[in-house]
Amino acid sequence: MAIANKKVLAGAALLVCGFLVLPTVQDLYRVVHLFDEDRIVENFRSADQLGATRALTASSIPRPYASGAEIVLPEEFLFKGRPFNTEQFLADSWTTGLLVIQNDKIVYETYSLGNSESTRTISWSMAKSFISAMVGIAVDEGSIASIEQTVDTYAPELKASGYEGVRIKDVLQMSSGIAFNEDYGDFNSDINRWGRGFATGSPQDAFAASLKRGREPGTLNHYVSIDTHVLSMVLSRATGKTVTQYMQEKLYQPLGMEYDGYWILDGDGKEMALGGLNLTLRDFAKLGSLYLHQGAAAGKQLVSAAWVAASTVADAAHVQPAEDDLGYGYQWWLPLSEDGEYMAMGVYGQYIYVNPAASTVVVKVSANPHYNDLSYIPSSDYSHLAFFRSIGSREAD
């Protein structure tokens, strides 16, 4: 299945209809026009104005990146044999921030459309990779005994649902076997039913428990955003903490995050694990740097090297990358690559790109109102991959 069809928003439609219960006409108006061309940039950097949130507090020992010798971005890059002007590409994809880190030093950083170093922007599906890291920590520490266990072992309310008997590993790999329609243009699709439930305050755990099996788990990589919510259910039950609490303790504080962040909450007070994380560009980058260093930061092993390695390779036929399709790890996207590249991705142009061979992390956040136009090249994940590779290769040259 092509990435354009497979990679969908973890919560965009949810937000469109999900915050219609807000108390003021002003808030309602803002949500209805969330993706309007003249409002999308502001809305993406102020999601805390849309509803309930739970705060992540900047680390008591912040660790800013060192500054390196500034690089010049390539004037153009090739995509499908055609040259694209870099400056125009960044403008046409409505880039609000671009950060390049090589050898643990910032070598390029720019903000546009009113964003700055301290601007917090919504992650969309990049949040999934943070959830994966936290699941890995819980496994490393023994709170989760094994990803070979089934999700209903930790979330018993999933028994008698399509998730009963599904391994945590299969959910991590978006191979849960759940029958799920994630077509945002279909009013009766599963994702839109979920959004309407979110809007009326229905418990999202109950929604997950209502889903049915569509195929044998572990046989097809079929993108189901609720899979990440199920991972958050497992994580919270196993650790006895909210996603925010666990992230604060296990990632936010030890990674030296420089700014406060926050998660968007649903009507049941649960984090929108699918895509509701809001951080600054530099703090998003720290997850990429953590994985680049096999899970270690400031001399401490936060995530095991074994988890990082397992997360960023395709270990079965149904998750393998191909020339025209990205593969999938544990909530990370995997290009066909000789350099071991991987990416966290969110719709509307959010990326954390990691190239271990070039010791490079690139973070790009955007607010592209034309994202759903599949013919628009600046909306393509593959054109972005080509752009990122044109940067990463410069260090290797």
Split at pLDDT 50, 70, 90, the class of 193 is: confident
Which token pair is 179?
């029958």
In this prediction, residue 5 carries a pLDDT of 43
**Model pTM score:** 0.93
Confirm if 77 and 390 have CB atoms less than 8 A apart. Answer: yes
Which token pair is 275?
């895509």
How much is the average pLDDT of 68-97? 97
Residue 161: partners with Cβ closer than 8 Å, 6 or more residues away: 152, 208, 209, 210, 211, 212
Query: What is the percent of the chain where pLDDT is above 70?
Result: 89
In the block, which residue shows the tokens 């599906």? 125
In this prediction, residue 16 carries a pLDDT of 44
More confident residue, 2 or 138: 138
In this prediction, residue 204 carries a pLDDT of 83
In this prediction, residue 340 carries a pLDDT of 96
How much is the average pLDDT of 144-157? 98
In this prediction, residue 321 carries a pLDDT of 97
Q: State how many domains the chain has.
A: 1
Split at pLDDT 50, 70, 90, the class of 29 is: low
In this prediction, residue 32 carries a pLDDT of 57
- The answer to which of 27-31, 160-164, 351-355, 374-378 has the lowest mean pLDDT is 27-31
| pLDDT beyond 60 at 52 | yes
More confident residue, 353 or 15: 353
Per-residue pLDDT tens over the stretch 244-262 = 999 999 999 999 999 999 9
For position 372, which CATH number holds?
A: 3.40.710.10
Whole-angstrom distance, CA of residue 265 vs CA of residue 255: 23
In this prediction, residue 7 carries a pLDDT of 44
How much is the average pLDDT of 18-42? 64
In this prediction, residue 199 carries a pLDDT of 60
Report how far Cα 272 is from the mean position of its chain's Cα atoms: 11
Split at pLDDT 50, 70, 90, the class of 198 is: low
In this prediction, residue 189 carries a pLDDT of 84
| pLDDT beyond 60 at 379 | yes
Whole-angstrom distance, CA of residue 5 vs CA of residue 220: 14
Split at pLDDT 50, 70, 90, the class of 394 is: very low
Confirm if 264 and 47 have CB atoms less than 8 A apart. Answer: yes
Split at pLDDT 50, 70, 90, the class of 31 is: low
Q: Are strands 261-264 and 296-297 parallel, antiparallel or unpaired?
A: unpaired
Q: With the CA atoms of 274, 150, 145 and 311 taken in that order, what torsion angle do they form, in degrees rounded to the nearest 10?
A: -50
| pLDDT beyond 80 at 34 | no
Confirm if 184 and 8 have CB atoms less than 8 A apart. Answer: yes
| pLDDT beyond 50 at 24 | no
Helix crossing, 190-199 with 225-239: angle to 10°?
A: 50
Range of the domain at 113: 3-396
Report how far Cα 305 is from the mean position of its chain's Cα atoms: 20
Other residues' Cβ atoms within 10 Å of the Cβ of residue 116: 12
Residue 318 host element (H or E): none
Split at pLDDT 50, 70, 90, the class of 388 is: very high
Whole-angstrom distance, CA of residue 182 vs CA of residue 89: 28
Split at pLDDT 50, 70, 90, the class of 188 is: confident
Per DSSP, 188 falls in state: T
Q: Is 340 exposed, middle or buried (0-12, 13-18, 19+ CB in 10 A)?
A: middle
| pLDDT beyond 50 at 165 | yes
| pLDDT beyond 50 at 182 | yes
Split at pLDDT 50, 70, 90, the class of 187 is: confident
Beta partners for 301? Answer: 296
Per-residue pLDDT tens over the stretch 224-241 = 999 999 999 999 999 999
Beta partners for 376? Answer: none
Whole-angstrom distance, CA of residue 394 vs CA of residue 77: 12
In this prediction, residue 197 carries a pLDDT of 72
How much is the average pLDDT of 115-132? 97
In this prediction, residue 212 carries a pLDDT of 96
pLDDT, mean over the chain: 90
CA distances from 36 to 9, 41, 177, 376 (A): 16, 9, 35, 17
